[in-house]
Amino acid sequence: MPALSSSSSSSVCTFLFIFLLVVRASNCAAKSTRPPRQLSVDYYAKKCPQLEQIVGSITSQQFKEAPVSGPATIRLFFHDCFVEGCDASILISTNPGSKELAEKDAEDNKDLRVEAFQTINKAKELVERKCPGIVSCADILAVAARDFVHLAGGPYYQVKKGRWDGKISMASRVQCNIPRANFTIDQLLKLFNSKGLTLEDLVVLSGAHTFGFAHCKQFVGRLYNYRGTKQPDPDMDPRLLKALQMSCPQFGGNSDIIAPFDVTTPFMFDHAYYGNLEAKLGLLASDQALVLDPRTKPLVQQLGKDKQKFFQAFSIAMEKMGSIGVKRGRRHGEKRRYCSMHT
C-alpha cells in the first residue's frame, strides 16, 4: 500500500509505530422524510454510458497516489447527504464577500481533506469532456465513494443515479446535521432517524470507520477528561490510551496530528472495526458507544464475526443513505459544469 501523499503520513506512521510498541437551531429543525425520488443504475446508459469507467480512471489513480482519498471521499459523501440531501452542496465554494458561508466552510467541515474535493473535481472535468452537461456532481460523488470502498478491499455495489445538484449550500445548516465524536447512542439515533435511517443503518454505516483517520481534537477528551470526570475513558484499552496520549497531549499539541480509526488495518476496508470495538480499541466515543449499548451491541458482534454480512449490509445502507433528499429537475436542482460553483 503506498504511503499517504501529504504531511499527515509522518504523524500516521509515528502513531502506528508508537501503538505497536505499546501493544505489542431553526435551520436544524427535523424535516419530514420523503420517499426518495426514483434513481436507477442505468440512468446515463444512453447519454453517458462510459460514466463509471471515466470516474473509475480517476479514483484508481487517486487511490494509488493518495490513499487517504478513499476514506476522505466517503466522509465527504456522508457529510453531503446528511445536510440538504445527496446533492453535492458540500462542494460549493463560498462566494467572495458573501455573508453566508457555504457548507464546506462550516466549522464541522473544515477538516474534510482536500484530496476528496480534488478527486471529484478531476472526475467531473473528465466527464465533462466526454459527456458535457449531462452528469451531476452529486452522482459523480456517489460513484467515487463506491469506487474507493471497493479499491480498499470492500464490496462492489451498483450505484443508482439520477441526482441533480442542489442550489442551496449554507454553513448554518451543518452543525446540527452532522454527528459529534462524543454523541451518545440516543443522540446518534435521533439524527439518523431524522434522515430516514434505522438503528441497523447507524451500526452498519459506522463501519466506514474501518479505514480513515481523525484529528486529536475529536477524541482528546477521552484521553484526559472523559465527560467531565478528569479521568480517561475507562472503556479504552490502556495500551491504546497510552499510545494516543503520546501523540495527542492534553494541551498545546499539533493540530495536524491524526490517528487511525482502525489501529489494526487502517488502510483496508474490512470488518476489523467491529472486533476493535469489542476489544476497547474504538477511537471515538461515538464508536465505542456502539458496543456498550444493548441495542447496538448484538449487531456489532454479528458484523465482527461475518465480513460478508457486513459487506452486504453496507452496500444496502449506502444505497439507502445515497437516496436522502435527492433533487430532480430544474425546479429543485441544476447540473453544474464546475462542482464548486453554481451554473
Q: Is 103 annotated as a binding residue?
A: yes
Q: What is the CA radius of gyration of the chain?
A: 20
Q: Rounded to whole angstroms, what are the CA distances from 312 to 36, 75, 147, 327?
A: 21, 19, 16, 27
57 is in an annotated binding site: no
- Contact present, 264 and 282 (Cβ < 8 Å): no
| Residue 300 annotated as part of some ligand binding site | no
234: annotated binding-site residue?
no
Q: Is residue 128 a known part of a binding site?
A: no
179 annotated ligand-binding residue: yes
Q: Taking CA 224 as the corner, what is the angle to CA 268 and CA 190, rounded to the nearest 5 degrees?
A: 65
In 10 A of CB 330, how many CB atoms? 10
* Residue 94 assigned to a binding site: no
89 is in an annotated binding site: yes
At 299 the three-state DSSP class reads helix
Instruction: Point out the residues that are catalytic.
Output: 79
Give the helix/strand (H/E) hosting 321.
helix 307-321
CA 210 to mean position of chain CA atoms: 11
201 is in an annotated binding site: no
Residue type, 196: G
Q: How many Cβ atoms are within 10 Å of 159's Cβ, its own excluded?
A: 22
Does the annotation flag 80 for ligand binding?
yes
Q: Which amino acids are annotated as binding site for substrate, given as ranges? A: 179
Q: Which residues are annotated as a binding site for Ca(2+)?
A: 80, 83, 85, 87, 89, 103, 210, 262, 265, 270
Binding residue numbers for heme b: 209
